[in-house]
Amino acid sequence: MSHDAAPSAASPDGAPDRTIFGHPTGLFTLFFAEMWERFSYYGMRALLVLYMTKGFLELGDGDAFKVYGAYTALVYATPFVGGLLADRLLGARQAVVIGGLLMAAGHLTMTFEDELPFFTALALLIVGNGFFKPNISTIVGSLYPPGSPERDGGFTIFYMGINLGAAMSPLLCGYVGETFGWHYGFGLATIGMMLGLAVFVMPTRLSQGLIMLGALVAGGGLLVFRPDNAYYTAVNVFVACALLGAGAAAFTALGRGGLPKEKGARPPEAEGKRLLGMKADHAVYLGIVIAVPVFALLVQKNEVAGTVLSIFGAVAFAYLILYAARSEKIARERLFVVLILTFFSMLFWSFFEQAGSSITTFTDRNVDRVFADEVVHEAQVGTTLTLSPTQEQLGYSNGDTLFTLDQLDALRRENAEDPSFTVQWTVAQDNVGMGLAERVDEIPASTFQSVNAVFILIFGLVFTLLWGFLAGRGLEPSTPVKFALGLLQLGRGVVALWRGAENADARGMVGVGTLILGYLLHTTGELCLSPVGLSMVTKLSPAPLVSTVMGAWFLATAFSNYLAGLIAGLTGVEHGDGDASTIPAPIDTVHVYGDVFGKIGLAACASAAICFALAPLLKKWMHIGVEVPAPEDEPTAFE
């Protein structure tokens, strides 16, 4: 552990702000605030599609994917407005608090199983994320002076905090929600959001205590709430150790000073500003009250969301292009680099975000998630077994009845109070080789959404050290090349899923190793692109417009999520309509998923080739090492 004793700005309670591991101590406050916010978001996301298809809504694949696509798109659209309001009126700090309160209310509302609270909850999360997401990232960037070589590393550490939350949430919220009841999973997400907000707003000493308390409680939960499986237990232990280690590091860092008061403060020119004849803050609150029912309607009537998003996006990016055209040469070319790489980022996330939709349903229906204790033998043909039904029975016949996922889910709903229930199974010849296991041996599908985040925890620091090692020898790839590498790795990961589907077993099931390999390659791609993308926005954007451009970055991600929902719709496999819809046997669904995954992999690799070709020009336009002061007549957001 290294410390830099040189003081800088004061922390919230007056202590000098120092560094730890070469980074400002305030970074670790933001690390845990964002970690718990991502815990809440990804905990809800892990359950969302399964909740819509298996819970009280009972939507078919197509309708569930449309709602999911519209929701995730709008979640990433609102940060453009949230960034703009923070830049010009609120300041990033106040925006983060507003966003956290709205998101906590959204997660809490999700615990009520009724259609109106469901869509209201999604709307609260959409609006809250708009205030929270761009502005906490902007505060991270403000901790580093212009040209700081530590900025990329700081964003990667921050990104590891995001993924620590994303790793915990499916393991806790997903497992608890699928095992004990959906509302319990959403309730955990609510607690996580409130804890993250408390870490952000409390005095430094109290934040230290909250960080350690949260780490200890969540770490204990990871060890208690888990399937009886050695592999799953090992993952939970790893995440718990990572959480406790991060908590200890943050506790030490905050002992040397917290987040300086001036970081994210309200802009001086916003003091006393009025909008619509009222105080600016009151106008913002009124806008929130109006926006929530509007977004609830847009998610419910999701076919309208795409049109609204397209219009909103066109206006936002036209504004940025106009701003660039009015800027001097270096600022203009840098902003063009941001916009071009934002386009490639949009392609990346449209493919990557299959994780929460089509890859989740693929995992639920076609990935073998059970570690069977034994199998049916030839000598048992003609006998009747008393067994605990699991995914191992999918695609096999019990007498004259083909056992499907619909039947398994129905049995579990009927026996919700007795998870260890059994059924009578008449063994036929085609049952030979069928696995026999208990429910505790089956890993819930939602929890596999933690695999990507766990790999980021493992490899995030490795990539940080790799970029530093290469930079010291003048070999570090430029940001555009890193983007191309990210797209290429993502394409290879989706191709791995396609190959797994093409080589499925006789009943249409794919080995869990294929899924993990796909997530591993997705992760290496993400580590090439996403952390450096956030850093790029803060480095290349004009100073008066950083939060606005950060919002535009997330707006592009909104387009990608909407597109991801449309792509996922191509994998819809239910038969029939409405209450008569059923999920067919795995052998009838595996190649539907495989065909779509093959096309996604090809498109991602082609995009990577184009980005590689443009990289030399984009690197030139970045004007690395050139400092350009902002002109006095810098265009403003409200001109």
Residue 633 scores a pLDDT above 60: no
pLDDT for the residue 581: 54
Q: Which residues of the chain does CATH 1.20.1250.20 include?
A: 3-366+443-622
d(CA 9, CA 143): 10
Which one-letter DSSP state was computed for residue 429? G
Residues 6+ apart with CB under 8 A from 260: 8, 9, 10, 11, 12, 17, 26
Torsion sign over Cα 592, 556, 310, 617: negative
Residue 295 scores a pLDDT above 60: yes
397 or 626: whose pLDDT is higher? 397
The answer to whether the CB of 41 falls within 8 A of the CB of 33 is no
Helices marked H in 170-279 — which ranges? 175-180, 182-201, 204-224, 230-254
C-alpha to C-alpha distances, 346 to 529, 533, 577, nearest whole angstrom:
11, 11, 33
Would you put residue 147 in left (φ > 0), alpha (ψ -120 to 50) or beta? left
Top-ranked range on mean pLDDT: pick from 239-253, 309-323, 559-573? 239-253
Query: Pick from 64, 629, 136, 103: which is nearest to 356 by CA?
Result: 64
User: On the CB side of 471, how many CA atoms lie within 13 Å of its CA?
Assistant: 12
Query: Pick from 162, 188, 160, 163: which is nearest to 44 by CA?
Result: 188
Amino acid in position 169: S
Give the lowest-confidence range in 1-15, 265-279, 377-391. 1-15
Residue 157 scores a pLDDT above 70: yes
Q: 3-state class of 306 per DSSP?
A: helix
pLDDT for the residue 628: 58
Residue 4 scores a pLDDT above 80: no
Helices marked H in 473-511 — which ranges? 479-502
Strands 423-426 and 384-387: antiparallel
What mean pLDDT is reported for the chain? 84
327 or 101: whose pLDDT is higher? 101
Angle (nearest 5°) at CA 67 between 63 and 73: 140
pLDDT for the residue 596: 93
215 or 581: whose pLDDT is higher? 215
- Phi then psi dihedrals of residue 426, to 5 deg: -85, 120
- Phi then psi dihedrals of residue 631, to 5 deg: -70, 155
For 54-106, write each residue's pLDDT tens digit.
877 878 888 888 898 889 888 878 887 888 888 888 888 899 999 999 999 99
The answer to whether the CB of 339 falls within 8 A of the CB of 317 is yes
Percentage of the chain modeled with pLDDT above 70: 93
User: On the CB side of 270, how many CA atoms lie within 13 Å of its CA?
Assistant: 18
Question: Mean pLDDT, to the nearest integer, of 419-429?
Answer: 88
pLDDT for the residue 503: 93
At the topology level, CATH places domain 3-366+443-622 in Growth Hormone; Chain: A; (1.20.1250)
Which pair of structure tokens corresponds to residue 250? 């943050």
Residue 418 scores a pLDDT above 50: yes
For 108-149, write each residue's pLDDT tens digit.
998 888 899 999 999 999 999 999 988 898 888 888 887 777
For the entire predicted model, the pTM comes to 0.80
Would you put residue 277 in left (φ > 0), alpha (ψ -120 to 50) or beta? left
Question: Mean pLDDT, to the nearest integer, of 18-47?
Answer: 86
C-alpha to C-alpha distances, 573 to 5, 106, 501, 581, nearest whole angstrom:
60, 30, 15, 10
Q: 3-state class of 572 per DSSP?
A: coil
Query: Pick from 101, 151, 146: which is nearest to 128 by CA?
Result: 101
Could you give the maximum distance between any two Cα atoms of the chain, in Å? Answer: 87
For 570-610, write each residue's pLDDT tens digit.
887 664 444 445 788 899 889 999 999 999 999 999 999 99
